[in-house]
Amino acid sequence: MLTSLTLQSSLRSVLIHIAAVLLLVLSFDFPSRKTPQQMPQMNIVEAVAVDSAQVEKELQRLQELDTAKAQEELAKQQKLEQQVRELEKKSTQAETKRKEEEKRLVDLEKKKLQEQKARETEQKKLADLKKQQEELERKRKQDEDQARKAEAEKQRKEEEEAARQIQLAEQQAEQQGQDQALLQGITANIYRSVVSNYNVSGLAPGLECVLIVRTVPGGEVVSVSISQSSGNEIFDRRAINAVQKASPLPLPEDPATFERLGLRQFRLPFRPQ
């Protein structure tokens, strides 16, 4: 029920729409059939001012005049035509010339254009080149810059290193100065220690032997060997015993100091007077 109602109303609306569209199309067609709208309105105003007799008269006069004048006009026209032909002839020549000239000009223009083009190409090339050069230069400058920076850095590092070396050398010199004093003291202690254990009682005079003594930090003697024998067994033995009995020798406990002073191994020549 409801459906039928809707269908009825829809149909009605479609019909109304079609009618509206038709009206719109017809109304559009009317103006397009008429010629320009403004001109007829002005003609209408003038037509009101001129009367038809006067027009007849004028037309008469003009017909009389036209016969005489036509003769004259013809000659004139002929002459003019002649002139025109001459002119035309001249003009043709000029035209040819002009055309040649034009062609020349065109050629010239063409050439100019070519030249221009070539110049432009050349310029572009130059510009490219320049650009390239500039790029290169920029790069070169950049490289140079980097190199200069690297060089500066290197120099700075070298200077730092030199300073460090100097400091190290100074420390070493100071250390060695101290070491020398230390070594002197240790040497004197070793001498005293060995001498006090070296029994020369009854030893034959004029003999000499050389021992190589190896020690560890703290002074313990780990080995005694004969580097050069006196040729006298007792003499050699007394020397060895002196070192062994003196063990531990008065040497530094600190391994670093011990090594630096070269105390791991030393020579002991025994030559009692």
Partner 1 sequence: MTMRSLLILLLALYIGPLFAADELEIIIDRGVENTLPIAIVPFNWSGAPEMPPVEFALTIGNDLQRSGRFAVMEEADLPQRPVQFQEVNFRDWRLLGMENIVLGALKALPDGTFEVEFRLIDVYRGAQIAGFRIPATAKQIRRTAHRISDIIFERLTGIRGAFDTRIAYVTVRNNDDGSKRYQMQIADADGFNSQVLMESSEPLMSPAWSPDGRQLAYVSFESRNSSIFIQDIITGERTRVAGFSGINSAPAWSPDGTRLAMTLSREGDPEIYIMHLATRNLERLTHDRGIDTEPAWSPDGQKIAFTSDRGGNPQIYEMSTNGGRTERLTFVGVYNARPRYSPDGNSMSLVHGQDNTYRIGILDFRTSDITLLTGARLDESPSFAPNGSMIMYATTGRQGSELAAVSADGSVHQRLALQVGEVREPAWGPFPPEMP
Residues engaged in binding partner 1 (CB under 8 A):
162, 165-166, 169-170, 172-173, 176, 179-180, 183, 187, 190-191, 194-204, 232, 234-235, 237-242, 244-245, 260-263, 265-273
- Closest contact distance (angstroms) between CB of 122 and partner 1 is 58
- Closest contact distance (angstroms) between CB of 216 and partner 1 is 15
Shorter beta-carbon distance to partner 1: residue 92 or 165: 165
- Closest contact distance (angstroms) between CB of 245 and partner 1 is 6
Burial class (CB in 10 A: 0-12, 13-18, 19+), 200: middle
- Closest contact distance (angstroms) between CB of 126 and partner 1 is 52
Shorter beta-carbon distance to partner 1: residue 145 or 174: 174
Q: Tell me how far CA of residue 2 lies from CA of 8, 9, 11, 14, 94, in angstroms.
A: 10, 11, 15, 19, 92
Q: Are 251 and 215 in contact (CB under 8 A)?
A: yes
- E-strand ranges in 37-136 read none
In whole angstroms, give the CA distance from residue 180 to residue 168: 17
- Closest contact distance (angstroms) between CB of 241 and partner 1 is 5
Q: Which DSSP state fits 68?
A: H
Shorter beta-carbon distance to partner 1: residue 116 or 184: 184
Shorter beta-carbon distance to partner 1: residue 13 or 201: 201
Shorter beta-carbon distance to partner 1: residue 200 or 216: 200
In whole angstroms, give the CA distance from residue 76 to residue 83: 10
Q: Are 232 and 196 in contact (CB under 8 A)?
A: no
